[in-house]
Amino acid sequence: MLHIVPTPVGNLEDITLRAIRVLKEADLILAEDTRTSAVLLRHYDIRTPMRAHHRNNEHAAVEGIVADLEAGRDIALISDAGTPGISDPGFMLVRAARDAGVEVECLPGATAFVPALVGSGLPCDRFVFEGFLPLKKGRATRLAELAADPRTVIIYESPLRLARTLRQLAEAFGVDRRACVCREISKLHEEYRRGTLSDLETHYGVNQIKGEIVIVLEGCVKPVSKIISSLGGERNRQIN
């Protein structure tokens, strides 16, 4: 069986008893970075062997892992933090295991965007999780599409690109769009900073920060006709 096991995004106590048991009982743990995961495993006295499984070796490794699963081995997949497959390696292995008829068990547990969304104070009944935006190709088009979405939008970002991204969001969404920058979820320096995109761009333009970043953005409240018109204008600008 393949077990998908969420790990803490910050505080090591944010792990379930079931996750600890599964990690202890597995024959092998696939870890995004074995050095990072070793800290968690030592904390809970988990002595299961580990093997690296990350974006750089995922394509080549999947076939062999599925063969091990078909041979009856119990394998647990973890990422550095959060739930595997959510902006982390995992999807390819789960799909290959399912296609091979291998049983897949996904445990519920930690992920960064849920506490960021709920703690932001923005509507959380309907939302779209975007993950990381395209770095170059398609970025402007995707921003224009997200700007017109009436649902709350969730984006992951690096602290090194935060100021630039907030500037681009202000240009695409409008400077008055409400947002919340959440960083270091479940860690010692956890912070939620709320305001308009203009406020946040100004603040983070002069205040450099570290840590994992989640940006939560208010959904669009424009009439549908204005949304369509705005998207059409963006496409025309790209064509020209």
CATH of the domain at 129: 3.30.950.10
Q: Which of 83, 106, 129 lies at the terminal end of a domain, its last residue?
A: 106
Q: What's the pLDDT score for residue 72?
A: 96
Consecutive sets of 10 residues in the chain, 240 residues long: mean pLDDT of each?
A: 96 96 98 95 98 87 95 96 91 95 95 95 96 93 96 96 96 97 93 96 91 95 56 51
Q: What is the pLDDT of residue 36?
A: 94
Q: Do 60 and 171 reside in the same domain of the chain?
A: no
Residue 200 and residue 97 share a domain: no
Question: Could you tell me if 98 and 122 lie in one domain?
Answer: no
pLDDT at 57: 83
> Number of C-alpha atoms within 13 angstroms, CB side, residue 28?
14
Phi and psi angles of residue 112, each rounded to the nearest 5 degrees, phi first:
-70, -35
pLDDT value at position 168? 96
pLDDT of residue 227: 47
Q: Domain end: 72, 106, 140, which one? A: 106
Which residues span the domain enclosing 89?
A: 2-106
Asked whether residue 95 falls in the same domain as residue 197, the answer is no
- In a shared domain, residues 129 and 144: yes
Q: What's the whole-model pTM score?
A: 0.85
Which 8-state DSSP code applies to residue 82? B
pLDDT at res. 224: 45
Residue 4: CB atoms within 10 Å: 21
The last residue of one of the domains, among 76, 106, 136, is 106
Taking CB atoms within 8 Å and a gap of at least 24, the contacts of 40-48 are 40/7, 40/8, 40/12, 40/15, 43/12, 44/15, 44/20, 46/20, 48/23, 48/24, 48/76
∠ CA 83-24-7, rounded to 5°: 20
Residue 131 and residue 51 share a domain:
no
